[in-house]
Structure formats: C-alpha cells, structure tokens
Copies of this chain bind each other. A is one copy, B any other.
Amino acid sequence: MSADPTPGPEGSTLSEPVTISKIAEAAGVSVPTVSKVLNGRADVASQTRARVEELIRRHGYRRRRGPGGGRSSMIDLVFHELDSAWAIEVIRGVENVARAEGLSVVLTESGGEQTPREAWVDAVLARQSTAAILVFSDLAPEQRARLAARDIPFVVVDPAGDPGPDMPAVGSANWNGGLAATRHLIELGHRRIGVIGGPRPVLCSKARIDGYTSALDAAGIEVDPALIRYGDFHVESGRDRGRELLRLDDPPTAIFAGSDLQAMGLYEAARELGVRIPEDLSVVGYDDLPVARWVGPPLTTVRQPLTEMAEEATRMALALARGERPANLRLDLATDLVVRRSTAAPAAR
C-alpha cells in the first residue's frame, strides 16, 4: 500500500500529439488505411498493419475521443480456462464494477492457452473496448504493443508468470498464504507435511510452495522432496497426487493441497484408501471457494479474496482508461487462514 512514484513508459512523447495524416505519410500509406488499422479492421495486409502500428506506438498517437466518449461501453474479460467454481468468483467481481460504471462485460475463454489468440486482439480493437482484464493468462509482447498503441489498458489478475514491473496486475499474498497454512499444521504438531502445488512454472504456485518450505525451515523441520508434488489446481490432480503421497512408505500426516479443488481430490483419494480426515490426515486448501464450507469435514483453507481481486483489477483498468496513473500498478491483496474441521493434531503412533 506504499505510494511509490511509478515511472512513465520509456520513450513516450505524450506532450506531442501526432495526426493520422502524419502517420500515413511516415508509413507510406493512405489516411483511410491508417483509419482501418486504428479501427481494428481485418482488411489490411499484415505487414502494412505492423508498420502502421509500430508508428502509432512510437509516436504515442492517441485517438481523439468523440463527444460521446468515442469508446464502446465494453470491458473484455479473458480466462485461460473457464472450468471451475473459481471462475465465477472472478466474473462476479468484474461484473460488479462494470455494472456500476454502465459497462458490459465481454467474456472470452482462450481455450486452455495461457496467451489469447490473435483473433482476440483483433476483436478487442474492433469493438474498441474500454479495457481488458486477463485472468491467469498473459499477452505476447506483440499483443501488448497493439493494445497499448490503441490506448486500451489491460490488467492481469493472479498472474501465471512474472508479469514484470510495467505490467499492471492484481494478485494475492501467495507466499504468506503458503506460510500460514504450513505453520498452522506445524503448530498442531505435524512434522511430516506434504504439499501439492499447481503447475511448476506458475508463479502463484511457486510462491505458495516457497511459503511452505520457509515455514518448515523456521521450525527446524527438514524439507523432504518426496513430499512435494505438482498438480494443475484441479480436482483430478489433487486425487492423483494425493494417492501417491498417501501410499508412500512413510506417508505425511498432513497435506497442504495448494487449492480447494485439489483438496476435494485429496478427500476423494483419502476416502478410497480408508484414510480419515482429520483423524489420520489433516488437509489445508487454498482459495476458500464456497464449497470449502459444505464438504465433510468442512475444509480449513487459505482465503484468497478472488472477487475483491477482480474488482480491484477492474477499477485499476478503468482508471488507466481514464488516463489516470494509479500509484501502484502491482497489488497483492492479503490472504488469511480460515480454520475449519479438516485439521487436527496428528494421532499418536
């Protein structure tokens, strides 16, 4: 929450507006061609488009807004996949802020890819969206440049990779969450504690596992690499990695499941193998989806404020669209541990 001054984009010449005809001249094309590029029309040769966009970007051309604002009243929301209870929490946050501002939300699923397809950028430019919110996905440098050239700001929610300091993003305190989950298990008396992370390269998962190892280190417990497994945040991987952990010769007495959905899979694995929760195995999830309260036993988990994160990202994107410069372009909202009934002291052996 510090108010660091944020540096402006390098090389931008905001004080020196350029006209469309100057860009057309520099690119060696007609004014209507530049207009087509600005309007995201598809009927421009890709080389020509790239040349014009590069000039637009280099000269910091800013579209003049018409009397009605000149922009459509839409905001784009992109998911890399739209397949869990997780997504609805995020959609609700974006929808809350958009509705209050009279904006409609255009929803896109990038079909499991971490980077939206090129056609998505074309569509966003064509509809002149006010801003774009990307969930757990990333833009290719060329896609960023195209949106930036047309003055369409974007904010990433819960970034998968390292978005870099100039990439606006709202996340949550993943490291602290991993630390709190593991510390809770240590305080209950557990010493053999397993963890199931998300996909290896995903930043939020790395941070949660680092929080886990730091808690063990601080308690003087040696980290056993056999107890660290990687899933994909979904139910099935929680079940599969959970089975592996529970079938070890010296199985863990507690597992930090990395996500609530992985915890659901772990519950399934435990049921199959006759392992009782929390008597034989303590489980901590991550997210605090509504389901965490309903399962038996109700799940101890790290609350990640998904709806608030999405609201914050949308507010940030709209501020950028109005030409404001928020004090911070990277925010992590706090996580906290919610203790329910899936964790207990380990049974005496």
Contacts and interface: CB of A to CB of B under 8 A. Distances in A.
B99 A109 contact: yes
Interface string A262-276: 001001100100000
B92 A82 contact: yes
Contacts of A119: 102
A286 to B, nearest CB: 15
Contact of A109 (B83, B95, B109): B95
A147 interface: no
A290 B239 CA distance: 15
Given A85-B88, A95-B108, A99-B108, 11 more contacts: A84-B88, A91-B91, A104-B108, A104-B123, A105-B106, A105-B107, A106-B107, A107-B107, A268-B293, A268-B294, A296-B296
Interface string A75-98: 001000011110110011001000
Interface residues of A, number: 37
Given A108-B105, A111-B99, A297-B296, A85 B291 contact: yes
B91 A82 contact: yes
B85 A290 contact: yes
Number of copies: 2
Contacts of A27: none
A290 B294 CA distance: 13
A73 B293 CA distance: 40
Given A91-B82, A291-B85, A72 B105 contact: no
A50 interface: no
Contacts of A296: 267, 271, 295-297
A127 interface: yes
Interface of A: prevailing SS: mixed
Among A72, A88, A105, chain B packs the most CB atoms within 10 A around the CB of A88
A74 interface: yes
A203 B91 CA distance: 27
Nearest to A263: B294
Contacts of A111: 99
B294 A264 contact: yes
Contact of A85 (B72, B85, B235, B271): B85
Given A291-B85, A294-B267, A296-B295, A95 B107 contact: yes
Nearest to A81: B92
Contacts of A85: 85, 88, 290-291
Contacts of A72: 127
22 contacts: A72-B127, A77-B107, A82-B88, A82-B91, A82-B92, A84-B88, A84-B290, A85-B85, A85-B290, A87-B88, A87-B91, A95-B108, A95-B109, A104-B107, A104-B127, A105-B106, A105-B108, A268-B294, A291-B294, A294-B295, A295-B295, A296-B297
